[in-house]
């Protein structure tokens, strides 16, 4: 039997959606026991927290517990959080401890996406005894009775299903009118038993209709569990009110009773065993639309269009629109040369500034490479990747890349990183202060992390270099030119090719010499690019005199970190960095 925990119920106004991620929803700092500085406890605590947030954010389950000396720690992120969101949230939790719980020997903080706690007593797999904290959305429902009825059904089913899930998590949606939906979620700490999870959820869920009656949202939080509902989707995967028959996903559809507004349908998603949690949540009930029309047959120099469409969410432009936007591809609008030919500045009728790649038959790259780039980028959406649309007519083929202009701003010349690092314009090169360089390095890293781990399919770029990094007016980077990129399915880790494509100097040795490529070959190219950004010198230009040694480190791909680790290193001062190693090999060049 649970002890009576509701000593005090505190009702707060729900913070707005934009700021909710930065505000903790529960903080527990018992003042009864403090440590001193310096002390062995403080040393152990710092070691524990720095390792814990890395372990949790890199774990497939986004969960970890550990101990160092007499300090015990626990970290967990919501199953729908990305790796970067998880790490950022846990890192913010450490900062919160430093400012809100200084010198406390025990503390716990819960944010929307994560939970972090530590203590000088072992607490693993134990149900917490703490006062629930209630946060209520100030909005009122148009039909409070109908909302409350559907909320009760939704949360009861979720509470029943979550303890059965390995992730101790469930989320669902239910309509309480013809056009209004209620979204609910329950979550326990993953070290709890099924029975303890059910107990905790039973308590917090029982408080929702009492304190949130007629409101459009509320949450009740304890250290061990949380229950929440809103009138908007606040989790990161989709739940469709009417799944198609025969759907083979781990989504159960439950039909409720009749209401005044008709049949109410409940869609419940339960996180399944951890082996497939990641892929499921990254693409839960995602739908794709085939937006590309069949290309018209055309003949040029005896070659014919393949007639193959390109799948994905891709914008369509007709040739006339692009001609008008670029002033008929005039030389005045020409920005430079891309991987397939010339790049032109264009302006659409709504004022949006774009860049248009015009395919050249003399570019050295064929239609297949162009199709590969469009096909890949049509599937990708990330702020550090360029975006593509395509026209419906192939000859001459043109792809439309977002040009990274901010509305109302303009520049002359192409905005690639190569020009900023090595161009003749000293004023432009002077714009790259240390803050901008760090921003570029981090942004490229996040883009690669998305390609390698967070996108629907794993993609190896294979040609990462300064000229393939575009910059907007705020120096935000975007990875471009996916003409030779390779797509891996989730169970693939390495590919081989006899056709070496890319840029020597940036290629990993195993790719340049043996045609072997993987995510680690992209990591190698990223390392070369980071050196160029930091030093302002080309990788091929580090030769100070005729007799110079070319040093090579991280020759073995297994020695290179993953992009997830790299992004974590760039965003935390708590992660211990490996000491530089001696070069694995070197060659002596004589001029």
Q: How many CB atoms are closer than 10 A to CB 12?
A: 13
- Rounded Cα distance between 66 and 98, Å, is 20
Q: What is the largest CA-CA distance in the chain?
A: 87
Output the CA torsion sign for 60, 64, 66, 71: positive
Half-sphere exposure of 395 (CA within 13 A, CB side): 12
- Rounded Cα distance between 372 and 493, Å, is 20
- Rounded Cα distance between 35 and 26, Å, is 22
- 231: CB partners within 8 A, 6+ apart: 137, 139, 141, 180, 181, 182, 183, 216, 217
Burial class, 104, CB count within 10 angstroms (exposed 0-12 / middle 13-18 / buried 19+) = buried
Q: Decide if 22 is catalytic.
A: no
For residue 357, say whether it is annotated as part of any ligand binding site.
Answer: yes
- 181: CB partners within 8 A, 6+ apart: 173, 174, 175, 231, 241
285 Ramachandran zone, left/alpha/beta (phi>0; psi -120 to 50): left
The label of the residue with tokens 């649309």 reads 389
- Rounded Cα distance between 252 and 39, Å, is 52
Burial class, 410, CB count within 10 angstroms (exposed 0-12 / middle 13-18 / buried 19+) = exposed
486 Ramachandran zone, left/alpha/beta (phi>0; psi -120 to 50): beta
Residue of 80, 112, 375, 463 with catalytic role? 463
Containing H/E element for 442? helix 434-449
Provide the β-strand partners of residue 76.
Answer: 63, 115
- Rounded Cα distance between 353 and 415, Å, is 13
- Rounded Cα distance between 201 and 110, Å, is 16
Please report the DSSP string for 84-149 in residue order. HHHHHHHHHHHHHHHHHSTTBSSEEEE-SSEEEEEESS--TT-------EEEE---B-SSHHHHHH
- Rounded Cα distance between 107 and 24, Å, is 13
* Gap between the terminal Cα atoms of the chain: 82
| Annotated binding-site residue numbers for ATP | 357
Active site residues: 463
| Annotated binding-site residue numbers | 357
């Amino acid at each position: 039997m649970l002890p009576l925990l509701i000593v005090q119920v505190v009702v707060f106004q729900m913070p707005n959606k934009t700021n909710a991620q930065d505000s903790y929803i529960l903080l527990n700092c018992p003042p009864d026991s403090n440590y001193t500085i310096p002390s062995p406890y403080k040393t152990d605590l710092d070691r524990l927290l720095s390792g814990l947030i890395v372990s949790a954010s890199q774990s497939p389950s986004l969960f970890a517990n550990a101990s160092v000396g007499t300090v015990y720690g626990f970290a967990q992120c919501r199953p729908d959080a990305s790796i970067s969101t998880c790490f950022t949230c846990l890192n913010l939790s450490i900062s919160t401890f430093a400012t809100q719980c200084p010198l406390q020997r025990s503390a716990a903080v819960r944010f929307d996406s994560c939970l972090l706690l530590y203590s000088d007593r072992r607490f693993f797999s134990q149900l917490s005894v703490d006062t629930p904290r209630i946060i209520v959305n100030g909005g009122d429902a148009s039909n409070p009775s109908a909302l409350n009825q559907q909320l009760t059904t939704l949360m009861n089913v979720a509470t029943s299903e979550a303890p059965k899930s390995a992730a101790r998590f469930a989320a669902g949606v239910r309509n309480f009118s013809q056009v209004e939906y209620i979204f609910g979620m329950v979550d326990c700490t993953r070290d709890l038993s099924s029975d303890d999870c059910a107990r905790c959820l039973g308590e917090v869920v029982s408080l929702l209709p009492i304190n949130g009656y007629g409101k459009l949202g509320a949450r009740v939080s304890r250290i061990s569990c949380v229950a929440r509902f809103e009138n908007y989707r606040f989790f990161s995967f989709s739940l469709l009110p009417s799944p198609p028959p025969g759907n083979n996903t781990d989504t159960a559809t439950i039909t409720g009773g009749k209401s005044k507004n008709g049949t109410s349908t409940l869609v419940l998603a339960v996180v399944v065993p951890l082996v497939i949690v990641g892929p499921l949540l990254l693409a839960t009930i995602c739908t794709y639309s085939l937006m590309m029309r069949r290309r018209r047959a055309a003949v040029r120099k005896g070659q014919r269009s393949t007639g193959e469409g390109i799948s994905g969410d891709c914008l369509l432009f007709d040739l006339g629109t692009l001609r008008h936007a670029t002033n008929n591809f005039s030389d005045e609008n020409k920005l430079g040369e891309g991987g397939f030919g010339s790049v032109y500045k264009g302006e659409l009728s709504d004022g949006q500034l774009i860049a248009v790649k015009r395919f050249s038959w003399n570019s050295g790259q064929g239609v297949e490479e162009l199709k590969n780039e469009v096909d890949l980028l049509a599937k990708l959406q990330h702020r550090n990747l360029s975006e593509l649309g395509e026209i419906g007519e192939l000859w001459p083929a043109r792809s439309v890349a977002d040009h990274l202009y901010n509305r109302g701003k303009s520049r002359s010349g192409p905005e690639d990183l190569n020009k900023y690092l090595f161009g003749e314009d000293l004023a432009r090169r002077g714009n790259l202060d240390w803050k901008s360089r760090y921003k570029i390095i981090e942004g490229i890293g996040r883009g690669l992390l998305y390609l390698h781990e967070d996108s629907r399919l794993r993609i190896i770029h294979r040609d990462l270099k300064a000229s393939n990094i575009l910059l907007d007016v705020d120096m935000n980077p975007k990875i471009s030119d996916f003409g030779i990129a390779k797509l891996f399915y989730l169970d693939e880790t390495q590919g081989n090719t006899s056709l070496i494509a890319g840029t020597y100097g940036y290629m990993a040795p195993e790719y340049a010499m043996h045609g072997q490529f993987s995510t680690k070959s992209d990591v190698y190219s990223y390392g070369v690019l980071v050196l160029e950004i930091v030093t302002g010198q080309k990788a091929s230009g580090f030769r100070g005199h005729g007799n110079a040694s070319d040093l090579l480190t991280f020759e073995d791909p297994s020695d290179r970190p993953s992009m997830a680790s790299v992004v974590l290193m760039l965003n935390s001062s708590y992660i211990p960095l490996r000491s530089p190693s001696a070069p694995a090999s070197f060659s002596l060049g004589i001029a």
